[in-house]
A and B are shown apart, each in its own frame.
Chain A
Amino acid sequence: DQQVKQNSPSLSVQEGRISILNCDYTNSMFDYFLWYKKYPAEGPTFLISISSIKDKNEDGRFTVFLNKSAKHLSLHIVPSQPGDSAVYFCAASEETSGSRLTFGEGTQLTVNP
């Protein structure tokens, strides 16, 4: 079963506009949620995370929102830049699982100049 799901395989936005990437999960035991970015031929790199006790975390142009009742999180990038073009993975973990991450399928973001 797919416990973390990203329903949009791709997203295209104009430079300077907002990018919104979405993620849904089913396991209510998840207590940490993370976003990773991946460029071709590289491993995923950590972008931003949020604990389940919070509903928002912001780091510069990146903001993650968590809606626990809906089991939904989103990543907002504003303003979007061409260098943000990459695959974005949503991931979730339970602290008791030793930081094992469960990933979504990924969303390819393309930011057009």
Chain B
Amino acid sequence: DTGVSQDPRHKITKRGQNVTFRCDPISEHNRLYWYRQTLGQGPEFLTYFQNEAQLEKSRLLSDRFSAERPKGSFSTLEIQRTEQGDSAMYLCASSLAARRYTGELFFGEGSRLTVL
């Protein structure tokens, strides 16, 4: 198992363009999370899925953001009409909902978005 993988690692785009990030979680994990991290801040929760169901979305997730996990495996995060304020590191994490709760998440290396 290679852990959580994210693609692309770095994306530079012009304001107004659409971008899509992909996350492949650890294979047996049924929960998948998206976080955003800006410079000098900790990761901020955006949304999470249990299997293919999107169970919670943060107020940070404006209507320009959409996330999917169509078959309960990989997930995509799309940002439409990007703005300079969207520049950040987008982190994906996964976990296994299990009887013994630990709260531990496994993070990918992130996808860095730069909006010019």
Contacts and interface: CB of A to CB of B under 8 A. Distances in A.
Interface of A: 4, 6, 9, 32, 34, 36, 41-46, 49, 89, 91, 93, 95, 97-106
Contact of B91 (A43, A99, A100, A106): A43
Interface in B14-38: 31, 33
Chain B CB within 10 A, most for which of A4, A91, A104: A91
A6 B108 CA distance: 23
B104 interface: yes
B109 interface: yes
16 contacts: A6-B42, A42-B109, A43-B93, A45-B107, A46-B104, A49-B102, A49-B104, A89-B43, A97-B56, A98-B55, A99-B48, A99-B97, A100-B48, A102-B45, A105-B42, A106-B42
B85 interface: no
